[in-house]
Amino acid sequence: METFQNRFTSELISMNDIINLLRNSIQQQYNAKQLDIKNETIEKNVRILFEQDYVCQYISNTNGELSLAYPSQILVPIIDKWSEVQTPKITPSINIRDCCVRSRIARCRSRLVVPTLFIDGKYICRSATLSSWGEIYPRLSMDLLVDAGNRRFAQPAANIDNAFIDIEQPQQRTIFDKLRSADVDLLNIFDIGSIVNLMVQQKNILFGMKITASEKFDKHDRYRTFQMILLPYPGCEHFREVAIQKYNGEFMFYDWSLSKNDALLDVPIHLASRVNTDWLFWRSWNTIQLTQNYFQILLRHLETEKRGILIHCLSGWDRTPLFISLLRLSLWADGFIHQSLTVEEILYLTLAYDWYLFGHNLPERLPHGEEILYFTFMVLPYLVGDEFVFQSSNTTRHHSTLTTTGISCNYMPERHVYNNNTSCVNVADDSVINVHRNPCQYNSIGFEENKKTIRKEKLLAVFHLFHTCYRTVIPKISTTLNNGPPPVPDMARRIKNFVLQRRS
């Protein structure tokens, strides 16, 4: 096994790289068809950062053939270099891309199931919710009309056409059977056992057309073998409250009385009982508390379940990356993933891969005052308590080496941080968080004693670095709103997105 003690001679990512990434993110939404040097550099950096700790396979998405708002090369970690843990499901005999092609339209905006995190041999996947007939049939019609040579799918065009044309034959399965069965196949390939749905509505209807659905309410119960976890979480519109409440998440409360909010909380008792809260009052929680308790459910699942987990919301590019990003940063701070990366590198990785390359539309979110990206990092000081520490069940992982990767962080833009009880503690402006790059050796007792302190320092260092870079590029949102065009009404915005989705 490769030794990681002296692998690095210099840092790959600097603070300027993060600032440039944010500047690029506010100028354009990522599009896999758009080939330019900036996107190529971002994707190259992401691959290098991943490959420091993982052996990866790649799913080709050149020109957005699978999804326009997915990276041109989708990473699939298969071996953790630190623990030598690998997934038993991904073998050379499995054509993952072929499965992706067949299941592509099964989910909203072609945002199919893909792995994004790998821990203890399990995948944490992301996607959008299921498509319904209002989206499937227009996309299917376009696929049949578009010249197969332009799409350059891995399998011949005739095979793709036949896969769908024969739906008209009585003896064949319906289009929903084919697509959703392919979606189930892809979930099984990645060994997913549970599906976390963050939507606040059971289905999405526009002009009387059912556009999306969810696994729990599939009429033919095709997803019956998966454990369903329903965690209704506010959409991007709610995060206008970030600026309105002067960046204090404890004053942010979602209006659950709105008619569209018909989704109910549904958490298996063996997971809910492991979180110290009263779930009956979930609608009364502020957004910080909601995030904390949902986040604990995800951690407890990773600790107790043998199979992986899929996390999705409606489109999979706002609420989904919020929780994916928090998981990546928290598990990194615990020393279980991306052990080689510094604070700058892990921040760059999550901003680039979890947000930008998977289509988060920052150019649209900011004019509407929807700072869900900023809120994600605003939550980090609230996740430093003992209840947010991941306890691995994998006994093969090497715990004798504690990797504390990071920076000497002396830019502290705020005079306060928060402990796990959400009370303020003062931090001097010139405070320094020292997190060294090179691994330090501890015995088992020393490891446990230092683990919590190091975790807190790492998360706070990420928070302050992000704040500094974000405010370098993006002013306070109230200024942006006052100087910019008035926000588009929600219904008009939904119509606009629907039209753009059809064109893509």
Residues annotated as catalytic are 313
Contact 501, 493 (CB under 8 A): no
Beta strands in 286-407 (DSSP E): 308-312, 401-402
The H or E element spanning position 341 is none
Say how many C-beta atoms besides its own lie within 10 A of residue 21's C-beta.
Answer: 22
Report the amino acid identity of residue 305: E
In 3D, which of 201, 204, 200, 222 has the Cα closest to residue 212?
204
In 3D, which of 186, 23, 120, 63 has the Cα closest to residue 337?
120
d(CA 466, CA 474): 11
Q: For every residue of 236-269, which 3-state class applies, written as one string?
A: HHHHHHHHHCCCCHHHCCCCCCCCCCCCCCECCH
d(CA 143, CA 153): 11
In 3D, which of 387, 184, 421, 419 has the Cα closest to residue 303?
387
**Which spans in 173-311 are helix H?**
175-189, 241-244, 269-272, 287-304
Contact 441, 400 (CB under 8 A): yes
d(CA 333, CA 98): 35
The H or E element spanning position 125 is strand 122-127
- Which residue shows structure tokens 């998440």? 249
- DSSP state, 67? -
What is the separation of C-alpha 253 from the centre of its chain, rounded to a whole number of angstroms? Answer: 23
